[in-house]
Amino acid sequence: MMMVRTTLVAVILLCAVAGFSAQSPGTVDTSKLGPQVGKAVPAFGGVDQFGKAHTLGSIFGPKGAMLVFFRSADW
């Protein structure tokens, strides 16, 4: 029983050391992600919570549009 416990602790420690020593991903330049300020947004579409399809052109009003993307807690 003592040998099993010692082996289990050794495996857990080995996994922890391997996890901590893994290289972290390089830094990402977030200023280059997505559409840039002043550039046109690419055409896209989606479905709302009621199942109705919308395109970028269908949501524009006389003053433009404001899009808010929200990932719900129910995913």
21 — pLDDT class (breaks 50, 70, 90): low
29: exposed, middle or buried (C-beta count within 10 Å: 0-12, 13-18, 19+)? Answer: exposed
Of residues 8 and 28, which shows the higher confidence score?
A: 8
pTM of the predicted protein model: 0.38
Predicted local distance difference test score (pLDDT) of residue 64: 84
- Average pLDDT for residues 41-65, to the nearest whole number? 87
